[in-house]
Amino acid sequence: MAKLARDVMSNNVITVSVGTTLADARQVMERNQIRHLPVLDTDEQIVGVLSQRDLLKNANSYHSRVEDFMSRPVVWMAHDLPLHSAIEKMLDLKISSILVGDEENQLIGIVTTDDLLRLLAQSLDKVPRKQTLSTLFDIESLDEIAYKISQTGI
């Protein structure tokens, strides 16, 4: 049975509000050991996502606000969609996370490259030595995986 987004997403999504400084956002990321922060406006609506990469690119702007450097538009997917849809979207858009919503479009999780690597590691533990990634994931070759990963910049 195919894995769904809800099967691998991180459930406890930490957010910050518009107006938060990059320095404060960095502290939130470090304290919670995360690399992505959805940003909420005053109506509690998600208006962007700040990534660790955004912080690194703007290392000299720590007094600036998250809304000046967050990624937009927000990329979402439904929790009941197949995980391969999330992976394809992340590869196509060259992003390292995708927010997951429920039937009412409320945030219930986030799928990150860390979640996908964790799943891959668990899957590899279950693979017999003679089986390869290409047979496990039904792809033509490992070159295809390497190419797609190199194109994302992750």
**Alpha-carbon dihedral sign for residues 42, 109, 64, 94:** negative
Domain of residue 100, residue span: 76-154
Are 70 and 82 part of one and the same domain?
no
**pTM summary value:** 0.76
78 Cβ neighbours under 8 A, 6+ residues apart: 5, 100, 101, 102, 103
C-alpha distances out from residue 81 to 2, 7, 9, 109, Å: 10, 10, 12, 13
Residue 75 has what pLDDT? 94
Mean pLDDT for each 10-residue chunk of the chain (154 residues)? 88 95 94 95 93 85 88 93 92 94 90 91 73 53 63 63
Domain assignment present for 132: yes
First vs last C-alpha separation in the chain:
28
Residue 108 has what pLDDT? 94
Domain boundary among 57, 74, 91: 74
Distance, in Å, from the CA atom of 36 to the CA atom of 113, rounded to the nearest integer, reads 11
Are 62 and 84 part of one and the same domain?
no
Q: Whose CA is closest to 38, among 95, 104, 103, 84?
A: 95
What CATH number is attached to the domain comprising 89? 3.10.580.10
SS3 state at 150: helix
Domain boundary among 74, 99, 122: 74
Residue 56 has what pLDDT? 87
The total domain count for the chain is 2
Domain assignment present for 1: no
Domain assignment present for 93: yes
Q: What is the pLDDT of residues 75-97, one digit of tens each?
A: 999 999 999 999 999 999 999 99
Are 63 and 96 part of one and the same domain?
no
Are 42 and 100 part of one and the same domain?
no
Residue 24 has what pLDDT? 95
Domain assignment present for 148: yes
